[in-house]
Amino acid sequence: MTGPLILLVSGSLREGSINSAAIRTVAAQLAADVDVTVYDEMGVLPHFTPDVEATALPEVVARLRRSIEGSDAVLICTPEYAGALPGSFKNLLDWTVGGMEIVGKPTAWINVSANATGAAGAHSSLETVLAYTGADIIDDACRHIPLAASDLSADGLVSTPDAVDELRSVALTLLERARQKQD
């Protein structure tokens, strides 16, 4: 493939995660058209420690930063726990603050919560942290697409046609911004 490259990140470590299913679905929908990388090392990132960052980055953190740097856009799908981002995903974001890789990078997120609050706490937290890191938040690509376990097929992908179309639309909106930045 030739550009742009989209980095897809699930903020969930849970087996059978609907958030991860949404990310895999986006990857499957785009794979024929653009370069896609699904980040899958969140569970092995060490706890963020500024002292470690100041001395020598662990290789797994360096790979995370290279993945962000090498991408043209970043798309996130994360659950909400206790009204905010899951700790493991916040840890991932903390490792990105000291680097400049996401500065100006078109970035968006998908919220798949079927909860009545629509995971507003996670949305607010993402907006705060990503704005702080200098990400180029593409509001038109930040969407709420409620999904339930019943919306997944046996292969772990989203099976509801309207939801699949919406997921693809989010990614294409984000990629359009990435293409504009390349021109």
Please state the pTM of the whole predicted model: 0.95
Distances (CA, A) of 158 to 19, 92, 127, 134: 10, 25, 25, 31
Strands 35-39 and 136-137: unpaired
CA 43/CA 167 separation, integer angstroms: 24
Q: What is the pLDDT of residues 57-106, one digit of tens each?
A: 999 999 999 999 999 999 999 999 998 999 999 999 999 998 899 999 99
Could you tell me where the beta strands, DSSP code E, fall in the chain?
Answer: 5-10, 35-39, 73-77, 106-111, 136-137, 143-144
Band (2; pLDDT cuts 50, 70, 90): low
pLDDT at 31: 87
Q: What is the pLDDT of residues 103-162, one digit of tens each?
A: 999 999 999 988 877 888 898 999 999 999 999 999 999 999 999 999 999 999 999 999
Burial of residue 110 (number of CB atoms within 10 Å: 0-12, 13-18, 19+): buried
Residue from 115, 114, 109, 103 nearest 181 by CA: 103
DSSP letter for 139, please: G
Residue that is written with structure tokens 């470690």 in the block: 52
DSSP letter for 3, please: S
